[in-house]
Amino acid sequence: MRAAQAGTWSPSWHQSLADRTCCSSVTAGSVAPSRRDCCRSKRRSFRLAQHERSDDRGRVYGRDSLNELLPFADIVVIAVPLDENTHHLVDADFLA
């Protein structure tokens, strides 16, 4: 992004995201159902929603499990409506 803004070509190689563990609150909720496969991982994917449940794709963790799952996630995708339940969902502890 920064190279593009500067008008330079700066190629680099990074590890693939395909083999990473993803923790996503997008895939289970009603915020973005068209994004339900955004974290298709060959290894593992944790799906979160407001309440824990199971569906045709397996377990959906409750949002209160987020901090418990973070140590196992390489990628975290959060797309939730901003309200009193999600305000400060990502804080200093989350980023540590």
Q: Which of 70, 69, 16 is CA-nearest to residue 42? A: 16
Instruction: Report the candidate in 60, 10, 58, 73 with the shortest Cα–Cα distance to residue 30.
Output: 60
Q: What angle do CA 45, 46, 47 make, to 5 degrees?
A: 115
Residue 31: the pLDDT is 47
Q: What share of the chain is helix, strand, coil (3-state, %, to 5)?
A: 25, 20, 55
SS3 77: strand
- Beta-bridged to residue 90, according to DSSP, are none
The per-residue pLDDT for range 30-68, each reduced to its tens digit, is: 544 444 455 555 557 788 888 899 988 888 888 888 888
Give the distance from CA 32 to its chain's centroid: 13
Between residues 42 and 15, the one the model is more confident about = 15
The pair phi, psi for residue 95, each rounded to 5°, is -80, -15
Mean pLDDT of 69-89: 83
